[in-house]
Amino acid sequence: MNHVKKLLNGRSLVLVGMMGVGKSTVGRRLAKKLSLPFVDADEAIEEAAGMHISEIFENFGESYFREGETRVIQRLIAEGPAVIATGGGAFINDITRQSILDSSLSIWLNADINILVDRVSRRNHRPLLHGKDPETVLRDLAEKRDPFYAKADYMVMSNNAPHERTVSEIFATLLADKIEI
């Protein structure tokens, strides 16, 4: 754990990937093990806007949300080091993605669509899924987003095992590469 923290060299560790993959849950555990702050970018956006993401989407639309998301993520990176969990669409934005790649270490948490469908079906708070079939939406999103996620520095699979296993996989991936983070 200390080896990974040293390798970060003052940079943030940013988790990217589809909704439901476990970025926030895994991120909290990673931050704890690294003795770094954890920030959920969606929560930071809600705090900055003074409203829920679903309200931002409803009142102002997705493009307005994405502009605010970019500003918040850039601020979070500048305030680092921290472990930052981004929203599913954040890494798709060219400016946001470049900010993350230039100043942080990015990890794409990936998962099988069936796992994602199971996870997102447990709660009803995701604006992109409102009134739609989760599997259809997630498959469409994955087709569009996976090429962008693949630009992350690393990819780690998230599965139905306990989240601690994903955390261990992240540490193993970083240490195996002996990266100069």
Q: Is 144 among the annotated ligand-binding positions?
A: no
The answer, as to whether pTM is greater than 0.85, is: yes
In a domain, residue 181? The reply is: no
User: For residue 155, what are the β-bridge partners?
Assistant: 108
Residue 88, marked binder: yes
Would you give the DSSP letter of residue 150? T
**Is 178 known to sit in a ligand binding site?**
no
- Split into its structural domains, the chain has a count of 1
Q: Is 10 part of a structural domain of the chain?
A: yes
Task: Find where tokens 């409102």 sit.
Answer: 130
The verdict on whether residue 33 carries a ligand-binding annotation is no
22 annotated ligand-binding residue: yes
Taken in order 6, 22, 100, 108, is the CA torsion positive or negative? Answer: positive
* 86 annotated as a binding-site residue: no
Task: State residue 7's pLDDT score.
Answer: 66
> What CATH number should be reported for the domain holding residue 129?
3.40.50.300
User: Does 137 show up as a binding residue in the annotation?
Assistant: no
**What pLDDT score was predicted for residue 80?**
77
Q: CA dihedral in degrees (157, 160, 162, 165; nearest 10)?
A: -20
Is 144 part of any domain? yes
Q: Does residue 135 lie within any of the structural domains? A: yes
Question: What pLDDT sits at residue 6?
Answer: 66
Sheet holding 104-110, edge to edge: 38-40, 83-85, 12-16, 104-110, 154-157
In 3D, which of 181, 148, 167 has the Cα closest to residue 24?
167
Which residue positions in the chain have pLDDT lower than 50? Answer: 127, 180-181
Q: Which domain holds residue 104?
A: 2-176
Residue 77 in any domain: the answer is yes
Is the residue at 133 inside a domain? yes
Q: Is 29 inside a domain boundary?
A: yes
